[in-house]
Structure 1
Amino acid sequence: MTISLSGMHVTVDDVDEALAFYRDTLGLTVRNDVGNGTYRWVTLGTDTQPEIGIVLSPPHAGRSQEDGDALAALLAKGALGMIQLRCDDLDAMFDKIASASGVEVLSEPATQPWGVRDAAVRDPAGNMVRIEQA
């Protein structure tokens, strides 16, 4: 029996703004863009790992008002989980990310005590994004 990662969800307060970051800045490819009433989900991925999808969705999409409000409050605090990515040229990627609109730099590229060289930013919604050198 095997198990593998098929996808992850990233909660964002503005899907279009997040899409500009994940698609235009990071270079992910849109695989699906689905509307359901007043909400929208966008699934992105990479050519190198086509089996894994990253879904961007707002706090209230598919949730009760109460749960959406709680999730929105955590998002506003930057208290949701992070997304970890890997690239082949961290310095070039960091330069591109650091100049993008709505991005907060948390740490510039550096070798970490746990052995990886990475950098950290907050996406326009406040989620932490760590990118490591492949």
Structure 2
Amino acid sequence: MALTLAQCFIAVHDHDAALAFYRDALGLEVRDDVSYEGMRWVTVGSPDQPDVSLVLEPPSADPGTSPQDRRALDELMAKGLLRGAIFTTDDCDATFERLRAAGADVVQEPTDQYYGVRDCAFRDPSGNMLRFTQPL
């Protein structure tokens, strides 16, 4: 049985701000931009990895989410407590400089880690943690 990853989801409050980060600063391509029942989903991905996509979705896309749960999700996002993604890059330092120059929220400057990578971290405009890693 072969399994491959096709999509993963990242909750965002503002799709236009998310696009300024994921498309413009990070360089991902927009693959889909869909609106439905007052919500919006934008699918982005690396041109180097056409079979894997990130779906930027509303924080509580499930219509059955209660108002209390929506508020809880908003609070967790505001604190940066929802997880994001880890990207692999061939140049951690150049990736860091590109994102910093674009005004991204720096969490960690490039650092050599004991487990064999050099990595850095940012928060996207919705507070999601994104790490960028390069094998040493």
Q: Same fold (TM over 0.5)?
A: yes
| Percent identity over paired residues | 47
Question: What displacement does 1:23 show?
Answer: 0.4
**CA distance, structure 2, for counterparts of residue 15 and residue 44 of structure 1:** 11
Contact kept? 1:105, 1:122, Cα under 8 Å: yes
Question: What displacement does 1:45 show?
Answer: 0.8
Output one character per residue of 1:57-116: Cα deviation in whole Å (capped at 9) or x when no partner: 121333323433222121111111121001122211111101223x22111111111111
Contact kept? 1:61, 1:68, Cα under 8 Å: no
1:23 maps to a residue whose letter is R
Q: Which runs of 5+ in 2 are unaligned?
A: none
Kindly report which structure 2 residues correspond to 1:12-91, keeping only aligned pairs within 5 A, or say none: 12-63=12-63, 64=65, 65-91=67-93
**CA distance, structure 2, for counterparts of residue 79 and residue 91 of structure 1:** 25
CA RMSD of aligned residues (A): 1.4
Q: Is 1:4 equivalent to 2:4 in the alignment?
A: yes
Q: Is 1:131 equivalent to 2:136 in the alignment?
A: no
Runs of 4+ in 1 over 6 A off after TM superposition: none
Number of residue pairs aligned between Structure 1 and Structure 2: 133
Structure 2 SS opposite 1:73? helix
Q: Which runs of 5+ in 1 are unaligned?
A: none
Question: What displacement does 1:128 show?
Answer: 0.6
**CA distance, structure 1, for counterparts of residue 95 and residue 111 of structure 2:** 13
**CA distance, structure 2, for counterparts of residue 96 and residue 70 of structure 1:** 33
Q: Is 1:105 equivalent to 2:106 in the alignment?
A: yes
**CA distance, structure 1, for counterparts of residue 81 and residue 98 of structure 2:** 25
User: TM-score, normalization: structure 1?
Assistant: 0.92
User: TM-score, normalization: structure 2?
Assistant: 0.90
